[in-house]
């Protein structure tokens, strides 16, 4: 029997604090192109949060005034596994809440990231039993030309899982993802759990129209269980 509701989770920053290892991997790959010093972790974490892969490379190239090929996104995959294993660890609260919700709702991951990175991140934080590879969606994997903030990815997930938009809830930590959720006519809940600047992030999410913002996994559980279909 199909479950009554679908929950779509962003990955980086929502399910895991994976921004640091992924951004370190990207910086290592970009080093050979002679990027300026201001293209650093602070820049990536503040100015590039939630961007789809092609948009991310385009922004870095424009801001640094350096020609950077899209192939850099393949080059940096070499660094990803080791850095994820070094920097990520299992969050017991996340595991507890997600395993409970998994038994109640249909759940999927919807990320702008590379499929390889998302799958490795899910593995590194111990969430593979909840999010099998078959429920991990990215624009790359779905063959979509647009990622968030376009609604395409979320709409694709809902259709593929057999739900209408009104039956779906999105958990997001970025304004880009929140915009995509609203554009897909889904209920959007923000999360600042893994943010280094939660107050700033909350303000940005509220500016997009997000009303419910979770600051802990217990709040995520509460919002998920009390959300009316």
pLDDT in tens, 101-133: 999 999 999 999 999 999 999 999 999 999 999
- Picking from 35, 60, 85, the residue at the C-terminal end of a domain is 85
**In whole numbers, what is the pLDDT of the chain averaged over residues?**
93
Q: How many domains does the chain contain in total? A: 2
pLDDT single digits (tens) 199-211:
999 999 999 999 9
Collapsing DSSP to helix, strand or coil, 107 comes out as strand
Question: In whole angstroms, what is the distance from residue 212 CA to residue 202 CA?
Answer: 10
% of residues, the chain, pLDDT over 90: 79
Q: Which helix (H) or strand (E) holds 136?
A: strand 136-137
The partner residues of 191 in beta bridges, in order of sequence, read 214
Cα pseudo-dihedral 153, 93, 209, 225, rounded to 10: 90
Structure-model confidence comparison of residues 18 and 181, the more confident one: 181
CA distances from 163 to 8, 171, 184 (A): 12, 17, 12
Bridging pattern class, strands 168-172 and 6-9 = parallel
Q: Are residues 221 and 158 both part of a single domain?
A: yes
- Picking from 27, 52, 85, the residue at the C-terminal end of a domain is 85
| Model confidence at 228: pLDDT above 70 | no
Question: In whole angstroms, what is the distance from residue 89 CA to residue 76 CA?
Answer: 21
Q: Are residues 106 and 210 both part of a single domain?
A: yes
pLDDT single digits (tens) 129-173:
999 999 999 999 999 999 999 999 999 999 999 999 999 999 999
pLDDT single digits (tens) 185-200:
999 999 999 998 899 9
Question: In whole angstroms, what is the distance from residue 84 CA to residue 128 CA?
Answer: 15
Residue 16 carries which DSSP code?
Answer: B
């Amino acid at each position: 029997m199909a479950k009554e509701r679908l929950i779509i989770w962003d990955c980086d920053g929502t399910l895991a604090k994976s921004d640091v290892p992924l951004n370190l991997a990207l910086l290592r790959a970009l080093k050979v192109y002679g990027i300026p010093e201001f293209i650093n972790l602070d820049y990536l974490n503040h100015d590039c949060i939630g961007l789809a892969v092609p948009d991310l490379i385009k922004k870095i190239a424009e801001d640094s005034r350096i020609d950077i090929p899209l192939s850099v996104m393949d080059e940096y995959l070499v660094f990803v596994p080791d850095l994820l294993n070094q920097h990520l660890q299992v969050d017991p609260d996340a595991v507890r809440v997600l395993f409970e919700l998994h038994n109640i709702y249909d759940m999927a991951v919807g990320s702008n990231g590379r499929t390889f990175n998302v799958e490795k991140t899910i593995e590194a934080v111990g969430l593979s039993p909840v999010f099998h590879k078959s429920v991990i969606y990215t624009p790359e994997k779905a063959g979509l030309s647009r990622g968030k903030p376009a609604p395409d990815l979320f709409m694709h997930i809902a259709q593929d899982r057999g739900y209408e938009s009104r039956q779906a809830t999105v958990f997001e930590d970025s304004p880009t993802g929140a915009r995509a959720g609203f554009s897909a006519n889904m209920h959007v809940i923000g999360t600042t759990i893994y943010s280094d600047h939660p107050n700033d992030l909350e303000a940005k999410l509220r500016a997009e129209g997000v009303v419910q913002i979770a600051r802990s996994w217990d709040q995520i559980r509460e919002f998920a269980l009390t959300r009316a279909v």
